[in-house]
Amino acid sequence: MSHASQAGTYSLGNRTVNRMGYGAMQLAGPQVFGPPRDRAAALAVLRAAVDAGVNHIDTSDFYGPHITNQLIREALHPYADDLVIVTKVGAVRGADASWNPAHSPAELTRAVHDNLRNLGVDALDVVNYRAWGTMHAPDDASIEDGFGTLADLQRQGLIRQLGVSNVSPTQIAQAQAIAPVVCVQNHYNLAHRTDDALITDLARQGIAYVPFFPLGGFSPLQSDTLSRVAARLNASPMRVALAWLLQRSPNLLLIPGTSSVAHLHENLSASELVIAPEWLGELDGMV
């Protein structure tokens, strides 16, 4: 059975994590809202992930809201010393399951305290400031005030390390002028490669890049090229898409999500795949 350590490790600031992690978004109900269809199954996935060597879990208290963090606490608390839980703030959920920006100092402070309470910790390992822009792409609006609020909370000892999400290079520079940034979480996968140059730049700085929607998100990746390479490797297209990310750059940390133990192990097994250079070239040419 695959182990998360097979993908190697990378630094997440002053912590070292296995490059194959887990994203908890899918543990909540439909539209990432409300309770899971099967609570026992959700708890089982979290425990299976840690048992398989996952020591980087991505979450947010606006998943549910509150529900995903409460599941993590129920399944895994007290947490293993090597487990790094990364959360994000900057949004709230409407009663209609809508996603709405929440960037005022009061909203960000409340979000940090919600995460602390629901995860059952005194300090959060890493908090990503989730800029808005559009749902899947950044703009260049200033994030100085919002990120500055999180830096204040870090100085108070409530946050250990800071990251940013859904951001442009300009916004990353704004954040770095305020406090160290240990990770960038943006939309990136085989078919969505806007951040190619940014990944290279962050690798030079030793900063982790964490692609969200690594398998396409709510609309899974579909490509004749991907299917053709997958057939050659006798693997599913999604395993190949994850393996491509692992081979893309050593600073990529993956957080594929699932609510199924079987699917969890399939995702982890992507670390065993080695894509030959000529096939990598075909995949690189998809966009």
Is 184 among the domain residues?
yes
Q: Do the domain assignments include residue 245?
A: no
Cα-flanking dihedrals φ and ψ of residue 243, to 5°?
-65, -40
Query: Is 79 designated active site?
Result: no
Answer yes or no: is 48 within a domain. yes
Instruction: Give the three-state DSSP class for 116.
Output: helix
Q: How many domains does the chain have?
A: 1
In a domain? residue 231: no
CATH code at position 63:
3.20.20.100
Per the domain annotation, does 79 fall within a domain? Answer: yes
Residue 205: how many CB atoms within 10 A of its CB?
10
Q: What tens-digit pLDDT sequence spans the chain (287 residues)?
A: 789 999 999 999 999 999 999 999 999 999 999 999 999 999 999 999 999 999 999 999 999 999 999 999 999 999 999 999 999 999 999 999 999 999 999 999 999 999 999 999 999 999 999 999 887 789 999 999 999 999 999 999 999 999 999 999 999 999 999 999 999 999 999 999 999 999 999 999 999 999 998 888 777 788 899 999 999 999 999 999 999 999 999 999 999 999 999 999 999 999 999 999 999 999 988 86
In a domain, 242, yes or no: no
Give which of 162, 128, 120, 154 is closest to 14, Cα–Cα.
162
Which one from 10, 22, 63, 209 is the annotated catalytic residue? 63
pLDDT for the residue 287 = 66
Q: Is residue 78 part of a domain?
A: yes
- Please report whether residue 109 resides in a domain: yes
Q: Supply the pTM of this predicted model.
A: 0.96
Q: What is the pLDDT of residue 223?
A: 87
pLDDT of 220: 77
Burial 112-146 (b: 16+ CB within 10 A, else e): bebbbebbebeebbbbbbbbbbeeeebeeeebeeb
In terms of residue numbers, what domain contains 183?
A: 9-222+250-259
